[in-house]
Structure 1
Amino acid sequence: MSTVEAPGKARAQIKERTLRKDNWRIYPITTLVIFTAWVAYATVRAFWGSAFYVPEYHYLSPFYSPCVNEICGDAAEFGTFLPAETRGWIPFAAVSLPFLLLFRLTCYYYRKAYYRSYWASPPACGVAEPHKKYTGERRFPLIGQNLHRYFWVAAFLISLINTWDAVLAFHGKDGGFGIGLGTVILVVNVILLWAYTLSCHSCRHIVGGRLKNFSKHPVRYWMWGQVSKLNQRHGQYALITLGSLVVADLYITLVASGTISDLRFYN
């Protein structure tokens, strides 16, 4: 007489990898292509070491902010400590890029995205996972994902710097006030970066977590409510900001290299 295992003790005994009829491979494949292309572009630009700043209008690429190499010149708003000889070996924004990379790498949305796309763990909901073991995020190196809340603090500070870069972009040829297409692009980019940063799950916890009674903290409760609204679109902001960063950097690269001229709206 055959025995039947208790529910939950074993996976369903079916030959098929999944019973899903939709094309579930689209999401992991598309995500893999987009992420790989973005990482390749960002890596090349971060180490390029040129065409990152337009001094006439104070346009600084977000991939080079804050610029801390001697080559930065007027773009070095916060000083420099990297010698020119490190060009091509160390990114000019060596202070910010590692923290921004770790912030996104440990982000809850990105975890889901690259777990599915690169590790197939699992590749989609309702699809069998190829890995035999699952240890969660309790061991090295994935236990490092728990540092996400601290990387958020660094990302928040860097967003302030990006905001300052956007403010400086309101610069005219004669040194006065001016607005160009580059100004608009940098402002839109920093707004989207703030939306992504503030919609973070860690930000939501920092704002309203550990409170036992919201009625006694009306300000924090209101802030928690606003962050919660943003949090609903956190995944969308995560993807949109990848695009806005590339657009901002590419436009500044083309203007700084003399390939195109900045479209000026005022002065």
Structure 2
Amino acid sequence: MSTVEAPTKKRAQISAKTLRTDNWRSYPIFIVVVFTAWVGYATFRAMMGDHYWVDEYHYLTPFYSPCVSTECVEGSAHFGTFLPELPFFIPLAAVSLPFLLLFRLTCYYYRKAYYRGYWASPSACAVREPHRKYTGERRFPLVGQNLHRYFWAAAFLISLINTYDAILAFHGETGGFGMGLGSLILLANVILLWGYTLSCHSCRHIVGGRLKNFSKHPVRYWAWGVVSKLNERHGQFALITLGSLVVADLYVWLVAADVISDLRFID
């Protein structure tokens, strides 16, 4: 009689790092290059403390909105100056920037991106990671990722402020309505920011979560459907808004520094 051995409980051992044959390294390399460049630029501009406001056309770069310090240039403080003069290492937009950075840092898409790009946890699907153990997001500091929904609420309020800034950017040099290339750039940026904010997984849960019967809540069901459609493009909005923020800030910087003149359509 032949005997049947009991199945082993050990996992299959594969000596290769992965059996994938595609260029799986391209995504994590792309993320590291783009994120590092963006953080470097954003940090430099946030600490620069100059060339963020164009008084003639009411252009305010999103990196300095809202500007609430007493050292903000005249006209740029749309909501008052309730903070004193700040040390050089604290940006003028000290009220908004921490929440916006934490919102993106805890974002589901950004987690996947920097986990793969910087931590190789793992670098790609079906690729062995170098870490010996995995504890998930149950311990400090990664347990803080669960605060994402609260940072979303702050980002929502800041998006309203950015919208107000974009509306003010339709200002003529002599007063009244005006429109220039900067107006359109700031408007396009805020539309994309709304796309990123509203496509967030937390927004989808807030709009349609905790409902046992959609038919009894037709308005929320409709809103949930719209947000769900946007949610399919959340990762795209996350990357595109990095570019739109830089374009908006760079344009305001160059116009404020008199390097270029704003292209005016209506004055």
Shorter-chain TM-score: what band? Answer: over 0.9
Alignment-mate amino acid for residue 104 of structure 2: R
Matching residue of 1:135: 135
Alignment-mate amino acid for residue 96 of structure 1: S
Alignment-mate amino acid for residue 253 of structure 1: W
Alignment-mate amino acid for residue 128 of structure 2: A
Residues in 1 aligned to 2:189 and 2:158: alpha-carbon distance in whole angstroms: 13
Residues in 2 aligned to 1:87 and 1:255: alpha-carbon distance in whole angstroms: 26
TM-superposed deviation, 1:80: 1.2
3-state SS in 2 of match to 1:70: coil
Matching residue of 1:80: 81
Matching residue of 2:16: 16
Residues in 2 aligned to 1:176 and 1:64: alpha-carbon distance in whole angstroms: 24
Matching residue of 2:217: 217
Equivalent residues in 2 for 1:99-114, closer than 5 Å: 99-114=99-114
Residues in 2 aligned to 1:3 and 1:17: alpha-carbon distance in whole angstroms: 29
Matching residue of 1:5: 8
Residues in 2 aligned to 1:138 and 1:5: alpha-carbon distance in whole angstroms: 30
Contact 1:170 1:183 in 2 (8 A): yes
Equivalent residues in 2 for 1:162-241, closer than 5 Å: 162-241=162-241
Residues in 1 aligned to 2:172 and 2:179: alpha-carbon distance in whole angstroms: 7
Aligned residues: 263
Contact 1:107 1:148 in 2 (8 A): yes
Alignment-mate amino acid for residue 79 of structure 2: F
Matching residue of 1:97: 97
Residues in 2 aligned to 1:157 and 1:47: alpha-carbon distance in whole angstroms: 23
Matching residue of 2:119: 119
Matching residue of 1:253: 253
User: Which segments of 5 or more consecutive residues in structure 2 lack a partner in the other structure?
Assistant: none
Residues in 2 aligned to 1:146 and 1:116: alpha-carbon distance in whole angstroms: 19
Q: Is residue 67 from structure 1 mapped to residue 67 from structure 2 by the alignment?
A: yes
TM-superposed deviation, 1:71: 2.4
3-state SS in 1 of match to 2:149: helix
Contact 1:69 1:82 in 2 (8 A): yes
CA deviation profile, 1:65-97 (whole Å, cap 9, x unmatched): 00012222210011113333x252211100000
Matching residue of 1:265: 265
3-state SS in 1 of match to 2:21: coil
* RMSD between superposed Cα atoms in Å: 1.3
Alignment-mate amino acid for residue 14 of structure 1: I
Equivalent residues in 2 for 1:27-66, closer than 5 Å: 27-66=27-66
TM-superposed deviation, 1:15: 1.2
Alignment-mate amino acid for residue 190 of structure 1: V
Residues in 1 aligned to 2:51 and 2:7: alpha-carbon distance in whole angstroms: 68
CA 1:87–1:258 in 2, change beyond 3 Å: closer, same or farther?
farther
Alignment-mate amino acid for residue 188 of structure 2: V
Residues in 1 aligned to 2:134 and 2:94: alpha-carbon distance in whole angstroms: 35
TM-superposed deviation, 1:101: 0.3
User: Which segments of 5 or more consecutive residues in structure 1 lack a partner in the other structure?
Assistant: none
Residues in 2 aligned to 1:247 and 1:3: alpha-carbon distance in whole angstroms: 63
CA 1:186–1:87 in 2, change beyond 3 Å: closer, same or farther?
farther
Residues in 1 aligned to 2:56 and 2:8: alpha-carbon distance in whole angstroms: 73
Residues in 2 aligned to 1:266 and 1:128: alpha-carbon distance in whole angstroms: 58
TM-superposed deviation, 1:3: 6.9
Alignment-mate amino acid for residue 82 of structure 1: L
Contact 1:49 1:87 in 2 (8 A): no
